[in-house]
Amino acid sequence: MSETIAFSQYVVERLKQAGVKQIFGVPGDFNLGELDYIENDPDIEWVGNANELNAAYAADGYARVKGGLAVIITTFGVGELSALCGIAGALAERVPVLHIVGAPSTKLQSNESLLHHTLNLPGSFTTFSTMSAPLSCSQALLNEIEPKTPSSWTDAFDKTLRDVLEQCRPGYVEIPTDAVHAKVSAAGLKEQLPTTHAAPPPESIAASVSPQESQASATSALASAATLAPPKAPSDEVTAHVVDEIAQRFKKATKPVILVDACAGRFGMASVVRKLVEECGIRFFETPMGKSLLDEHHPLFGGCYAGANSLPAVRKEVEAADFVLYVGALKSDFNSGSFSVNIDPKITIELHSFTTTIGYAAYPTTDIRHVLPELLPAFREVVQSRAGSPANGESAEQKIKTGRVEGTIPEPKGQEIKHEWLWPRVGKWFADTDIILTETGTSSFGLTNVLLPSHSTYIAQILWGAIGWSVGACLGAAMAAQEDDRNRRTVLFVGDGSLQLTLQEIGTMLRRGVHPYLFVINNDGYEIERQIHGVTAKYNDIQLYDHQLLLPFLAGKSCKTPYQSYAIKTPDELNKLLEDKEFNVPDRLRLIEVYMPRGDAPEGLVRQAKLTAEANSRL
C-alpha cells in the first residue's frame, strides 16, 4: 500500500472494507470524478437510479437485507435535496446509509461564485448541508476542513463512517471536486472499521445520545440533566449492575415474555435473542416492525403484539405477563396500535442502543450490544437454579401455548380476491429464504398476523411510511440478494397508488438483471387513506394505469432481462399461478397484477383506522 492515495480511492477502499458492493445514486457534474473511481474498481459496482429519491429508497432496502452499510451518491443541491425523504426514513427507522455529495470546488465555494444548483443567495454553499444536518448522525464537510495534514480529510471521513456504522443512522459526506484526486494518507485504511453488530466503545455510545433520546428514555429529572451536559460513558460496573438487576427480576417472574422490536435486528441482536429464548424456554412475541427477526414457526413464538391492534389471545397473554424484556423498542403509532400498548412499566425492561430502562429507572448510554449478550449466562443460571422447583420447573415444551395465527387459509367468498383470503394464501406460497417487502398500506397490515417462513426476511417501512418506498427498496433488496449464494427470491407487494410514485425503478431492475416478483394490488386508489378518512373523496382516487404495458415500456427494445406480466382477477387464477412450477423459479422479473374490490381491507388496517380516529378525537 502506497504512503499516499487519491482521496476518492481512499473512500472506495473504505466502502469495500465496510462490505459495500453496490452503490446507488444519480450522476451529476459535481460527482462525476468520484464516480470514475467506482467505475474503474473491479470489486464495487455503480447501480444507477432513475432519480435520487428512488436511490435513497434502494439504499435503505440494500442496508436492511445486508444488515450493514449502504451508500448513495448524489450531486450538490438539486440531487441531494431530492434524496432527503429517503434519508429521513433511514434516520427514523435506524438504517445505516452513507450519503456522499459531490460539491463545487473549495475555491468556487470560498469565492461565493454564482453557480448552477445554487440559490442565488448569500450562504448558498452551506444551505444544503445545513438542511441535511438534522437527518444525519454525523457530517464530514471537507470544504470546512483545512487539509493541514495528509490525514485531515480521511480522519473526517472515517469519523462519519464510524458513526453511521455504530449508530445505524445516516451520515453525510460532502466532497468538493478538487478533493477527488487530492493525495491523502493511506494509513487510515489499516484501522479496522466497526460493524453494526459489534458493541461500540462506551465513549461512542455517549457521543451518540441526543437530547430527544435522553428525554424519551429517562425520568424528567434525568432527561433535563442530559440536555444540559453530555452523558458520561458507562463503566463495566454499571453494565454488570444492569444485568444483575434484570436477572433478579427475571428470577422472581412466573410469566416472563420477550417482545422483539425493530432495533433488535438493526443492531444484529436477533440471534442473541433466539439463544435467550431457546436456552431459557421463554415465550416470545414480536411487534409489526420486529416481524421475521426470529423464527415465527418456533414453538415458543406467541404472535405479533401491537397493543389493541393485536389478536385477542396475543394481547391477553402479553399484557398478563409479570416480566417483559422489550428488545429494541420503537413505539410508533402503527407499531403500537396507536399507543395502546398496555404493559405495566414497573415490570418492563427496555434495551436500546443508547439506554436501558428497568421499570422507572434509566441507565443512559448503556447499549443493547453490551447488555444483551451478558443476559444469556445470567438467565441461564436462573433457569438452572429453578430446575428442582415444582413451581418454576416447567420445561420449554410445557410453557408452549396457542394464540398465534397458524396460517390456515379460509375459503374464498365469491369470485373476487379479498384480503381475508389473499394474505394467508400468499403466506403458504412463500419459500423459506424469501425476502418479502410490503408497502405501508393494505399489504403491511395484511401480512402482520401471517406466519412467515423460518429463514425469511420481512421489510416494511412502518414508522416513516413513505408511499412508494417499497419499489425502490425492492431494487436495493434484490441487489443485496444477488450477493447471497442462497438464490433468495425477492417478493414485493405494493398498491396501485403507491406504485405510481416510484415505478421508474422497475426499469432499473430490468437494466440490472434482477428478478423480483412484483405483486401490484389494483384496488382503484389509495385504500389505506380511504379507510382512515375520505371513503368517497376524489382526493383518494388515482389515474388508473394499464399495468400490463409497464414492463414492455420500461424494458424498451434493448433489455436482455426476461420478464412476464400477469393479470389475476379470481382466487382460482391466483391459486393456479402460485402452484405453477415454472412461476416459482425466479428466472425473470414478474409483475402480477391482482385485482381487488375497492373498499375491502385487512382487519388489522380497519382496526388501526378506528384506533387512529379514536386517538385523534381525544386530542
The grid coordinates listed for 76 are 450538490
Catalytic residue among 28, 61, 89, 117: 117
User: Is 117 tagged catalytic?
Assistant: yes
The 10 Å Cβ neighbour count of residue 527 is 26
Q: Are strands 355-358 and 348-351 parallel, antiparallel or unpaired?
A: antiparallel
Query: Residue 584 annotated as binding?
Result: no
Angle (CA) 228 233 239, round 5° = 125
CA distance linking residue 503 with residue 591, whole number of Å:
12
Catalytic residue among 403, 523, 540, 547: 523
Residue pair 605/288 in contact (Cβ under 8 Å)? The answer is: no
Catalytic residue among 25, 28, 49, 52: 52
User: Is 29 tagged catalytic?
Assistant: yes
In the beta sheet, which residues pair with residue 99? Answer: 72, 172
User: Is 529 tagged catalytic?
Assistant: yes
Query: Residue 335 annotated as binding?
Result: no
Residue pair 88/464 in contact (Cβ under 8 Å)? The answer is: yes
User: Is 163 tagged catalytic?
Assistant: no
The grid coordinates listed for 130 are 445545513
Catalytic residue among 34, 60, 295, 496: 496
CA atoms within 13 A on the CB side of 427: 25
Residue pair 448/288 in contact (Cβ under 8 Å)? The answer is: yes
CA distance linking residue 64 with residue 262, whole number of Å:
11
Catalytic residue among 529, 541, 600, 603: 529
CA distance linking residue 63 with residue 95, whole number of Å:
7
User: Is 39 tagged catalytic?
Assistant: no
CA distance linking residue 437 with residue 493, whole number of Å:
6
The grid coordinates listed for 414 are 365469491
The 8-class DSSP code of residue 230 comes to: P
Residue 380 is inside which H or E element, if any?
Answer: helix 368-385
Catalytic residue among 67, 265, 476, 525: 525
Catalytic residue among 36, 111, 116, 616: 116
Catalytic residue among 28, 171, 446, 465: 465
Smallest CA-to-CA distance from 14 within 170, 152, 173, 188 is with 188
User: Is 468 tagged catalytic?
Assistant: no
The position carrying cell 433488535 is 264
Integer CA distances (angstroms), 110 to 32, 35, 106, 139, 516, in order = 21, 24, 6, 19, 47
Q: How many residues does the chain have?
A: 619
User: Is 120 tagged catalytic?
Assistant: no
**Edge-to-edge strands, sheet with 301-304:** 301-304, 283-286, 256-260, 323-327, 348-351, 355-358, 361-364
User: Is 241 tagged catalytic?
Assistant: no
Catalytic residue among 19, 29, 298, 392: 29
In the beta sheet, which residues pair with residue 283? Answer: 257
CA distance linking residue 126 with residue 103, whole number of Å:
11
Quickly list H helices, 116-235.
Answer: 124-132, 152-167, 202-208, 211-217, 220-228
User: Is 116 tagged catalytic?
Assistant: yes
Query: Residue 487 annotated as binding?
Result: no
Could you list the residues known to form a binding site for Mg(2+), using ranges.
496, 523, 525
Kindly list the catalytic residues.
29, 52, 116-117, 465, 496, 523, 525, 529
Could you list the residues known to form a binding site, using ranges.
496, 523, 525
